[in-house]
Structure 1
Amino acid sequence: MTAPLHDERRGTSGARLPDTQQGMRRRNLSRVMHAMAAHGPLSRAAVASRVGLTRAAVSTLVDELIRSGLLDELGPERPGRVGRPGSALAVSARGPVGIGAEVGVDHLAACAVDLRGEVRARAVRRAGNRGRPPLPVLQELAVLVQLVCDESRQAGLAPAGLAVAVPGLVARDTRTVVRAPNLGWQDVDLDRLVPTELPLTVDNEANFGALAELWLGAETPEDFLHVSAEIGIGAALVVDGRLLRGTHGFAGELGHVPVRPEGPACPCGGRGCLEQYAGEEAVLLAAGLNLGEDRGARLAERAAAGDERVRRALREAGAALGIALTGAVNLLDPRAVVLGGALSRLAPWLLPTLEEELSGRTAGRACGVTVSGLGPDGPLLGAAHSVARSVLDDPVGVGAGLGGGTGRRA
């Protein structure tokens, strides 16, 4: 069974634990772990206050989590205070880590995130993956994953699972990439091709980017439309802290919304899709620049330097993006639109025409447009955090610290 994504800010996964005494205990362990990860270091009394349990109940849960290696006891809290100081607790710097990996059109990446949310290992490789067979691409990705796992283990950390972000459609509750037009992939089963014994989750990169924004964004609301882009443009809708996936798991293909129906052909089979006007390659061509590495950085540098051709290309891309977003905003009424990925670096030149189109075409009140602080790292971080948070969600059922970290496939 595919490991469930943690898709709520409040700390409950999609899989409901049974209403039994054992299920209640597991839920309470999760509540303690989420409180510690979000607010620690804390004393037992402070944890009890935050989760609404008795100090005796929390003490029993904390002792179990300490024995399992998920929490550490740091010693007296605030020495010198009046009365007997409590013992400060913190999420362990050792123990489980979530492994995230990303297949991009021009790069591969992997990282490890611990239960405190800190990146503990990272590996990146530039690679032109468009048109390459899936097997060698995934073999190279597996090398990066192994490097990150090895570095984690050397630091006393146990990989708890692997989540892979891909720029394409992933069938719901599977590990199959149904279609990735910018890679040229179709019906690729990562479960069969990724050599790992870790529990494996596969999802669209925009979905992982949206989850990263939900979990890591400083002021991100629980209802927003997240838009991310490099070669392609993807989107993900978060409603009440949950991803809206659609019947087949294909929701969010904003890049293939037609903005000019008679426009150029798109790899998806359509014509005039948003990606043909606002994808990085389309903007580079319109700006008269060569394709190559660090495209977003080069566009931002030239625009900041006053290159009028680049700025004009970005204004036109912003207008196309605004037209496509208008349909989504009119249909879904999100509280905010968040620009992530490469778009975040180009926001100063995209936003004026984007907001002009959005405000002029929106039937109701136009929502605000904000820029993600995560930049291009959003999908990779979202993938790794999804695994780490699954441990917080169910320390008994998923956590490597309580389950022994054997690396069995889910």
Structure 2
Amino acid sequence: MAKLRQASLRHANLALVVRTVLGADVPPSRADVAAATSLTRSTVSRLVDELVAGGLLEEVGSATAGTADRPGRVGIVDGSDGAGRQGRPGRPATPLVASRGRFAALGLQVGVGHLAARLVDLSGTVLAEQRVTADLSGTRPNDAFRRLCTLARHVLDAVPDGCRVVGAGLALPGIVDVVDGRLLSAPNLGWEDVRPAPALEQALGDLPLRVGNEADLSAYGYAHPAPGKDRGPQDFIYLSGEVGIGGAVVVGGELVTGRHGWAGEIGHVCVDPDGPACRCGSTGCLEQYAGRVALLSAAGLDAGASPVELLGRVREGDAVASDAVRAAVRALGIALAGVVNVLDLPTVVLGGHLAQVGELLAPDVEAALGRRVLSAHWVTPRVDIAPDDPAAGATGAALLALEGLVRHPAEVISL
């Protein structure tokens, strides 16, 4: 029993050290980690040695970073009091960072208009990627997955020597049963009850695959741009725009997925019961006003046009395009105000095509939320714009697959 408790403590401390290093804004030294975790300096040194040997962490450069050991100061050697307060002169502190190219995960994404595959390592670096534009609406799932297999194989063929791929994730635009690994419904693709894993087995082999909703995974990647690292805010509503609109809710950096994992379908919040029919079977859904196809069509643009063209037309004073944006803002204000009032999450992040035209939408959506949200008198609603990334779901899928290394590093270094 004592050995079991000791092993559990070691596992917990390894995870604590990994998360401390990966989450630091500035690469910390061993003494910095000891100060941040309240572990003794000798314990941290022993744990770091294991993590470096196991390929999760690496030491880089000399004393150019950190707080406990600053440039120009003499570091503290093992045998100090553990808090870095005193000790014998030793080697200068060496910053610790996530190892590059030693562990990675594969992120895959199926959109209505594209396929993507990305290999992301523990530092959050994209090591390889493949992306193709394709109209997949109404296609057979296995045809799309065969094309995705080709992309996945190309990316996996580019894995650097000495790099271990630990998992894979697949982002899909629809309602996903994450436990069963099944896509229940993707209205804009026209897919129902699809199991992706068997169709991708040829490319993935024994690599474990986690299937998730594209908006959820994009939101996760926004909150955590690299394993163990947080980006502010950590509490927000995320809108992911492609043909339609997906949504996700993040609280404390964790996805809020609901009882069955289907929470966040903000694109199908009704903003007008008498509005146009939606592919989901309802009417007047948000995505019928602010989805990419609906927005471009209302602006007099072809469905294949870039949202950047819409931006240009509005800047030129095009009345039709400006009216389309106003209608989208109105719909977004109505839908999001209801969500904010229910969830008390006054920060909204726009992704996908909504991010591409975010400068048109954000100020007026903020104003609409200011009028409609009950708590706006005390906390002003804010709209942020996510980086323009057409495969954000693939990145989020890979990052989530890597999270297991951060939470359970002992399982990796013990192999």
* TM-score interval, smaller chain: 0.7 to 0.9
The residue aligned with 2:149 is: 142
Q: 1:254-287 CA deviation, whole Å, 9 max, x = no partner?
A: 1111111112111111111111111110111111
1:99 aligns with 2:87: no
Which is greater in Rg? 2
- Following superposition, the deviation at residue 107 of structure 1 comes to 0.3
Identity %, equivalent residues: 41
Q: Write the letter of the residue equivalent to 1:386.
A: L
- Following superposition, the deviation at residue 91 of structure 1 comes to 2.4
TM-score, normalisation: structure 2: 0.86
Within a 5 Å distance, the mapping from 1:198-277 to structure 2 comes to 198-216=207-225, 220-277=232-289
The residue aligned with 1:60 is: 46
Change (3 A) 1:46 1:378: same
**Structure 2: how far apart are the matches of 1:220 and 1:72?**
26
**Structure 2: how far apart are the matches of 1:139 and 1:394?**
33
- CA-based RMSD: 2.2
The residue aligned with 2:30 is: 44
The residue aligned with 1:26 is: 11
Change (3 A) 1:112 1:304: farther
On the 8 A contact 1:318/1:352 being kept in 2, the answer is no
Q: 1:4-34 CA deviation, whole Å, 9 max, x = no partner?
A: xxxxxxxxxxxxxxx9432322222122222
1:179 aligns with 2:181: no
Q: Write the letter of the residue equivalent to 2:326.
A: R
Tell me the SS of whatever aligns to 1:370.
Answer: strand
On the 8 A contact 1:311/1:349 being kept in 2, the answer is no
Q: Write the letter of the residue equivalent to 1:310.
A: A
In the alignment of these two chains, the number of paired residues is: 381
Q: Write the letter of the residue equivalent to 1:301.
A: G
Q: 2:171 aligns with which of 161, 165, 189?
A: 165
Change (3 A) 1:76 1:274: closer
On the 8 A contact 2:109/2:391 being kept in 1, the answer is no
Within a 5 Å distance, the mapping from 1:387-398 to structure 2 comes to 387-397=401-411
Q: 1:203-228 CA deviation, whole Å, 9 max, x = no partner?
A: 11111111112113986222211111
Moved more, 310-319 or 161-170: 310-319
On the 8 A contact 1:280/1:295 being kept in 2, the answer is no
Moved more, 221-230 or 377-386: 377-386
**Structure 2: how far apart are the matches of 1:300 and 1:332?**
31
1:382 aligns with 2:383: no
On the 8 A contact 1:345/1:375 being kept in 2, the answer is no
- Following superposition, the deviation at residue 75 of structure 1 comes to 6.2
1:369 aligns with 2:383: yes
On the 8 A contact 2:246/2:267 being kept in 1, the answer is yes
On the 8 A contact 1:230/1:342 being kept in 2, the answer is yes
On the 8 A contact 2:16/2:37 being kept in 1, the answer is yes
Name segments (4+ residues, structure 1) moved above 6 Å.
Answer: none
**Structure 2: how far apart are the matches of 1:97 and 1:350?**
36
On the 8 A contact 2:365/2:383 being kept in 1, the answer is no
Q: 2:138 aligns with which of 131, 134, 139?
A: 131
5+ unaligned residues in a row in structure 2: which ranges? 65-70, 75-88
**Structure 1: how far apart are the matches of 2:156 and 2:191?**
27
- Following superposition, the deviation at residue 51 of structure 1 comes to 2.3
**Structure 2: how far apart are the matches of 1:322 and 1:377?**
26
On the 8 A contact 2:178/2:210 being kept in 1, the answer is no
Q: 1:282-322 CA deviation, whole Å, 9 max, x = no partner?
A: 11111111122x63233233333443322221111111111
- Following superposition, the deviation at residue 235 of structure 1 comes to 1.3
1:308 aligns with 2:322: no
Tell me the SS of whatever aligns to 1:382.
Answer: helix
- Following superposition, the deviation at residue 377 of structure 1 comes to 4.0
The residue aligned with 2:68 is: none
Change (3 A) 1:218 1:75: closer
Q: 1:26-83 CA deviation, whole Å, 9 max, x = no partner?
A: 2221222222223364332222222221111112211211221222344653586444
Change (3 A) 1:304 1:159: farther
